[in-house]
Amino acid sequence: MKTEEREHLIKILRETIYNLTGNYYPDERMKILEYKIERLLRSVHLDSAPPKRIINYFLLSPDGKKMLIDLMTVPETRFFREYEQLTALMGGPCKNKNNLTVLSIGCSTGEEPYSVAMIMKRTGKTGKVVGTDINENVLEKARKGLYRASSLRDVPEEYREFFIEKDGQIEVVDEIRRMVSFRPLNLINRQDFLSLSITADCVLCRNVLIYFDSKSKRVALENIREILVKDGLLVLSSTEILQREFYDIFEPIKEGKFFFYKPKG
Ligand SMILES: C[S@@+](CC[C@H](N)C(=O)[O-])C[C@H]1O[C@@H](n2cnc3c(N)ncnc32)[C@H](O)[C@@H]1O
């Protein structure tokens, strides 16, 4: 394939990923995308196929679309990530609420929703946690609730009772698993939110919107606002800042050293 053809192909696939998922590869991350696409093309034996055939495969076949979603997914997560922020949430704005519905969007392999359920259990809160992700492969792992034994290193001592050892791995115990369910959801697809048929007290969407551009972020935030109860809260990672241009959808409230976001309008 000629260099211009290759560059054109990569640009079309970048656009396809954006339209499918809202995740945007800016020019400075194009090299990473190029590398991932080349590896993917080799794995499906399309590396010497004409560009048109490659584009049709990714644009038209369900398998091709799933592969692109898998390719852009950054699945990095861990148990009790930003534990202090989660305890500030449960002990602060959610303190006097019970029978909570928490939605974890972009939950990857499930560590986040399970951690929230464990914190709820220990703080005597009832309710449920719904873990969602655009990537079916990570959800499949999440549903199994089985993790490498080394994942325990991120788990505070007082929460280790919620794991049992199984064949050299660790498994989340049934009483926590019963509180958590997993559903596919694409942040930029309003219908996916409606299909959940829930209203949420809290939506965790941590380390997901950092890969969105302004336009897709707005769509995602509007979808999140719609699923929240009136006094509900959006939780981003504490290293993410919601830009002022979105203050017409969510406004920040401060709880100790953390910011949470409440819906406007
Ligand atoms: C870096 S992980 C974050 C995991 C977890 N929230 C945390 O902070 O540890 C980002 C996840 O967002 C998911 N994701 C990306 N785009 C998405 C979209 N449009 N809708 C739903 N999930 C998406 C990815 O599949 C990936 O599993």
Residue 226 pLDDT: 97
pLDDT digits (tens, 9 = 90+) for 101-112: 999 999 999 999
Q: For residue 176, how far is its CA from the centre of ligand 1 (angstroms)?
A: 22
Q: Model confidence over 209-219: pLDDT tens digits?
A: 999 999 999 99
Residue range 83-263, CATH number: 3.40.50.150
* Burial class of residue 213 in the structure, from the number of CB atoms within 10 Å of its CB (0-12 exposed, 13-18 middle, 19+ buried): middle
Q: Is 223 in the pocket of ligand 1 (CB under 6 A)?
A: no
108 lines ligand 1 (CB under 6 A): yes
The reported pTM is: 0.96
Domain boundaries, the chain: 3-72, 83-263
* Cβ of 133 less than 6 Å from ligand 1: yes
- The position carrying tokens 């644009």 is 59
- Average the pLDDT over 136-159 and give the result: 96
